[in-house]
Structure 1
Amino acid sequence: MRIDIWSDVVCPWCFVGKRRLEAALAEFEHADRVEVVYRSFQLDPSAPQHGHELTTPVLARKYGRTEDEMRQLQQQLTELAAVEGLSFRLLETVHTRTIDAHRLLHLALAEGGPALQATLKESLLSAYFEDAQDVGDHEVLRREALSAGLDPERVDEVLAGEEFADAVVADIDAAMDLGVSGVPFFVVDRRYGISGAQPTEVFSQVLTQAWAESHPPVEVVAGGDTCGVDGTC
């Protein structure tokens, strides 16, 4: 079974949702047969390449709130994230472009599969939200990519050009086709869509239902003499 997740590395709810899904998977008996793939989504493609302005005033202008009101909302989100084991520094994050982070995530998927991509995704989210790093800065991206285990030469090649930019666009187009207007957005087994960082219980319910539907038990319609798995007949 596969779970596709559309998200951005500067989306706080994406980090919270990631933790809640992981909690559900930790209790799911078939978790070792679940593949998680991250898909690209840019919350603000017009953001500057290198973040210099703090996110708080940017969000205040976007949503028509005062900076004090936005700080209060960010503090509430910080406290909620702490329940999931996350240490957010929302008041220190910068408004930055994420296209290159997404291109590296596609590199990780191509070179090392979902496991390597997941490692890099965690590193980038943590760098931005817990370390207040600028994930639009190539030095930061290179450091996190190498720490996750990506090949240095390939990382430099990707950052120096536009490789995987078409894959990012394809992911965003796919999200639009699905009617996605915000992230995180989870698609379980190409059948169930989950919008937002839902409670862990919701993820657990959908995982159980999707698995049951894609792996129905065999209905025995007739019985007879058999040999057992222990070799007895």
Structure 2
Amino acid sequence: MQAQQTTVLKLQVVADVICPWCFIGKRSLDKAIVTLAGQGIDVELEWLPFELNPNLPPDGMDRRTFRSVRFGSWENALAMDARAVAAGRPLGAVFNYDKQTRTSHTLAAHSLLRLAWNEGGSSLQTRLADAMFTAYFTDGLDLSDRRVLETLAQRLGMAPQAVDRSTALHAEVRQREQAVQQAGVTSVPSYFMNDKPFFTGSQDPQGYVRLLTEAAAA
């Protein structure tokens, strides 16, 4: 019997690790990737930076204060949170907003993700992205906190002082962020294929399967 031929797709995910729909999209994409693997399509992910709130103080801001201003009122912010909770629940994206007290500045997190790509490729970077989503949304941790980031890095086997090493990548992260914005990205999650815009917005698992199956066929 002839072995099934495998097609490898390189999908680039433009995301911020404090974006709830990026977390939901990640969990949905996880399910799609399992389905696609059964069809002989392997998906290699690369995470590209997008800061939702680049002008936040480096140590972030009180969440209620920030979101009340950003969305007009705390009640509006709570309604948005409820929609994310409902959408994430069937996909395994667990939101514990009652544990969150800070809206994090994410330049340091994105720089650590870029270091993970440099040191461990797609697998390490993707596992770190997932750990960051979980830390922020499920565990209520502050991704502005270098100690939190260092703990996540070491849990995944990165060498000590990973956060210190990643500071040299801040300028590169900002350059990559500017590049995706110049390519037309204004919201996340957005997706590139081979450095070219592919589609925007989180999908249900079937949506990811359809889009990526079409890309593999092309």
The answer to whether 1:150 aligns with 2:149 is: no
The answer to whether 1:75 aligns with 2:85 is: no
Q: State the Cα distance separating 1:88 from its structure 2 match.
A: 0.3
Structure 2 letter corresponding to 1:49: P
CA distance in 1, matches of 2:209, 2:196: 15
Counterpart mapping for 1:213-224 below 5 A: 213=218
Assess if the C-alpha contact under 8 Å between 1:49 and 1:137 holds in 2.
Answer: no
Q: State the Cα distance separating 1:30 from its structure 2 match.
A: 2.8
Aligned to 2:40: 30
User: Of the candidates 32, 46, 59, which is equivalent to residue 50 of structure 1?
Assistant: 59
The answer to whether 1:186 aligns with 2:191 is: yes
Counterpart mapping for 1:105-144 below 5 A: 105-144=113-152
CA distance in 2, matches of 1:109, 1:156: 14
Structure 2 letter corresponding to 1:207: L
Assess if the C-alpha contact under 8 Å between 1:48 and 1:95 holds in 2.
Answer: no
Instruction: Give identity over the alignment, percent.
Output: 29
Structure 2 letter corresponding to 1:89: N
CA distance in 1, matches of 2:96, 2:65: 15
Question: Does the C-alpha gap of structure 1 residues 156 and 60 become closer, same or farther in structure 2, counting only changes over 3 Å?
Answer: closer
Question: Does the C-alpha gap of structure 1 residues 59 and 132 become closer, same or farther in structure 2, counting only changes over 3 Å?
Answer: same
CA RMSD in angstroms, aligned pairs only: 1.7
SS of equivalent to 2:62: coil
Aligned to 1:12: 20
Give 5+ residue unaligned stretches, structure 2.
1-8
Normalising by structure 2, we get a TM-score of 0.88
Q: State the Cα distance separating 1:83 from its structure 2 match.
A: 1.3
Structure 2 letter corresponding to 1:118: T
Q: State the Cα distance separating 1:192 from its structure 2 match.
A: 5.5
Give 5+ residue unaligned stretches, structure 1.
214-233
Q: State the Cα distance separating 1:60 from its structure 2 match.
A: 2.7
Assess if the C-alpha contact under 8 Å between 1:78 and 1:87 holds in 2.
Answer: yes
Aligned residues: 207
Aligned to 1:175: 180
CA distance in 1, matches of 2:48, 2:106: 13
Normalising by structure 1, we get a TM-score of 0.83
Once superposed, which parts of structure 1, at least 4 consecutive aligned residues long, lie more than 6 Å away? none
CA distance in 2, matches of 1:188, 1:26: 19
Deviation per residue, 1:80-105 (Å, 9 max, x gap): 21111122022432112111111111
Q: State the Cα distance separating 1:206 from its structure 2 match.
A: 1.1
Rg comparison, structure with higher value: 1
Q: State the Cα distance separating 1:27 from its structure 2 match.
A: 0.6
Q: State the Cα distance separating 1:175 from its structure 2 match.
A: 1.0
Q: State the Cα distance separating 1:158 from its structure 2 match.
A: 2.0
Deviation per residue, 1:177-197 (Å, 9 max, x gap): 220001110123445622111
CA distance in 1, matches of 2:199, 2:136: 24
Assess if the C-alpha contact under 8 Å between 2:189 and 2:201 holds in 1.
Answer: yes
Aligned to 1:202: 207
Assess if the C-alpha contact under 8 Å between 1:2 and 1:190 holds in 2.
Answer: no
CA distance in 1, matches of 2:76, 2:185: 27
Question: Counting strand residues as a fraction of each chain, which structure ranks higher?
Answer: 2
